[in-house]
Amino acid sequence: MTIEETRDLAACHALRRTVFIEEQRVPEADEMDDQDAAAIHLLAREGDRPVGTARLLVKDRTGKIGRVCVLADHRGRGLGAALIRAALDVLRARGLDQARLGSQTHAIGFYEKLGFVAEGPVYDDAGIPHRDMTLNLK
C-alpha cells in the first residue's frame, strides 16, 4: 500500500463518487466543488488500484483535511488512519500550526484516537451530521 501526493484528480474523483455520491447519497453538486484545483490531493493505492484519497486545503497557518474516503473493501485495515497521518505529515512539512476537519459524527472517535479534539455544535453537511475537529501541529 502506498500513499502519495497526486495530480490524478480523475482517480480521486472516482473514489469520492463511489463513497460519497453513490454510497452516502451526497448530492454531486455538494461533493464536486471548485476547490480541487487549489488543493493538495493524497491517493492511496494497492498496486495500481486507487483505494483511498484525502484532500488538503491550506489557508494561512491552518490545513483543512477533507474528502477522506476509503473503498468499502479496504475499510477496517487502518488505511483511513494512514491517510490522516500522511495528511498531517504533509501539513507539518509545510510548517502549518493547526489541522482542522469536519467529521461525520459517527467518525468522531476515529479522529479522537488520532489526536483531534471535537469543538462546536453538530451541523448538517450534505444531509449528514458533522462536527468540527482540530489538532495542534506544533
pLDDT digits (tens, 9 = 90+) for 47-60: 999 999 999 999 99
pLDDT digits (tens, 9 = 90+) for 67-118: 999 999 999 999 999 999 999 999 999 999 999 999 999 999 999 999 999 9
Q: Which grid cell is 66?
A: 477533507
Report whether pLDDT(122) > 90. Answer: yes
Domains of the chain: 2-136 (3.40.630.30)
pLDDT digits (tens, 9 = 90+) for 21-43: 999 999 998 899 999 999 999 99
- Of the candidates 138, 128, 70, 68, the one whose C-alpha atom is nearest the C-alpha of residue 98 is 138
Can you give the pTM of this predicted structure? 0.94
Cβ neighbourhood burial of 72 (10 Å; 0-12, 13-18, 19+): exposed
Cβ-based neighbour number of residue 93 at 10 Å: 8
Note whether 84 and 68 are within 8 A (CB).
Answer: yes
Report whether pLDDT(138) > 90. Answer: no
Cβ-based neighbour number of residue 30 at 10 Å: 13
- Of the candidates 55, 77, 69, the one whose C-alpha atom is nearest the C-alpha of residue 26 is 69
